[in-house]
Amino acid sequence: MGRNEEALEQNELVRMEYERLGLDAELSLVEIDGASLRILLGRTEDAMNDLKKVMKRASKESEERALAFVAMAKILCSEDRSSDSTRCLEIARETLDAKRSVNTERVAGAYTEISMLYESMNEFEMSLCLMKKTLAFLEGASGMQHIQGSISARMGFLLLLTKRIDESVPFLEKAIEKLKNCFGPLHFGLGFAYKHLGEAYIEMGQPESSLKFFGLASDIINAAFGPKHEDSIEIIQCIANAYGLMGSYKYAMDFQQRVIDAYESCGPGSAYEIREAHRLLEQIRKKAEGSPSAVFPANSLPVLPENR
């Protein structure tokens, strides 16, 4: 719910109770949760102090110590201390790899957090490797479909980002199946998976097929975040792009105008986006007129004149 101050207050009450009862492992886990909340609130120094307490209390090979290193890596990554962050992640991985946990969800969550930190440092191969490992770890575990769905969606996105389109599609399809089973047909995570699957079909030269998935994504994202949200508007742009690639310029212009209207409803802070949307509308018009110099979609290249 984003009410992190109230969450921190409740966390402190639980922490005091575990401390009174002398339950060190549970106390460490609650302090790690508290540190994560402080990170969200921008209190990184307090969070770091909490984590150092956990490391001092926990045994060297304990799961709690590994989780503390993951949280510390998050702080260091936010401070652009990539090498220090990477070292923390390596220590955490060594411990988690060597230990067979009784808490599957907690360890899966840790591996997922580690993989996303590697992703944020543009270490995509390491991130993908860890996600695959997490999916293998979860294979056969009961009640883990929501985590499997989220990881599959992330893998599909990263494979799409690194231009491995054929590999990305099965992961996105698996993510859609898992997320739909867990959360129903309107979960926002499902909307993003549909969007990325649409983008994959665009990359495969199948804009007609992409429209189905962009339409599903638009309905979900729009319902979840509202029509003025950047992701809602971006999907409309994706639909305009797809129609443009199909040569259906009238529909492309209609959806491009919807992009303009949406950004204009957001106010003066969207001046750059409005200019860009108008520029793209003009490019569609030129494309419809047969101009070889028209550039649409935005990431395509103009056709150079033959005499060059």
| Averaged confidence pLDDT in the chain | 91
Query: Per mean pLDDT, which range of 34-38, 53-57, 292-296 is the poorest?
Result: 292-296
Query: Per mean pLDDT, which range of 44-53, 105-114, 242-251 is the poorest?
Result: 105-114
Over residues 260-271, the mean pLDDT reads 94
Whether residue 93 has pLDDT greater than 50: yes
Question: Angle at which helices 145-161 and 165-183 pack, to 10 degrees?
Answer: 150
Burial class (CB in 10 A: 0-12, 13-18, 19+), 165: middle
Answer positive or negative: Cα dihedral of 252, 253, 257, 258: negative
**Half-sphere exposure of residue 106, counting CA atoms within 13 Å on the CB side?**
16
Cβ(138)–Cβ(174) under 8 Å? no
Burial class (CB in 10 A: 0-12, 13-18, 19+), 247: exposed
Asked whether the domain spanning 126-225 has the same topology as the one spanning 1-99, the reply is yes
Over residues 206-223, the mean pLDDT reads 97
Give the chain's radius of gyration (CA, Å): 23
Confidence band for 101, pLDDT divided at 50, 70 and 90 = low
Whether residue 304 has pLDDT greater than 70: no
Percent of the chain with pLDDT over 70: 95
CA-based nearest residue to 137, from 158, 106, 167: 106
Looking at residue 298, its pLDDT comes to 59
Q: Which residues of 210-243 are buried (b: 16+ CB within 10 A; e: fewer)?
A: bbebbebbbebbbebeebeeebbbbbbbbbbbbb
Confidence band for 295, pLDDT divided at 50, 70 and 90 = confident
Domain range 1-99, CATH class: mainly alpha
Q: How far is CA 119 from the centre of its chain?
A: 10
Q: What is the pLDDT of residues 180-203, one digit of tens each?
A: 999 999 999 999 999 999 999 999
Type of residue found at 85? S
Q: What count of residues does the chain have?
A: 308
Looking at residue 301, its pLDDT comes to 38
Answer positive or negative: Cα dihedral of 87, 89, 90, 91: positive
Type of residue found at 200? A
In this structure, which long-range contacts are made by residues 160-167, counting pairs with CB atoms below 8 Å and at least 24 apart in sequence?
160/196, 160/199, 160/200, 160/203, 161/124, 162/124, 163/203, 165/200, 165/203, 165/204
Query: Per mean pLDDT, which range of 126-135, 138-147, 207-216, 246-255 is the poorest?
Result: 138-147
Q: In this structure, what token pair is assigned to residue 245?
A: 């690639």
Question: Angle at which helices 24-40 and 44-57 pack, to 10 degrees?
Answer: 160
Give the Cβ contact number of residue 22 at 10 Å.
8
Looking at residue 225, its pLDDT comes to 95
Looking at residue 300, its pLDDT comes to 47
Q: Where are the domains of the chain?
A: 1-99, 126-225, 239-300
Q: In this structure, what token pair is assigned to residue 268?
A: 């003066």
Domain range 126-225, CATH architecture: Alpha Horseshoe (1.25)
Type of residue found at 4? N
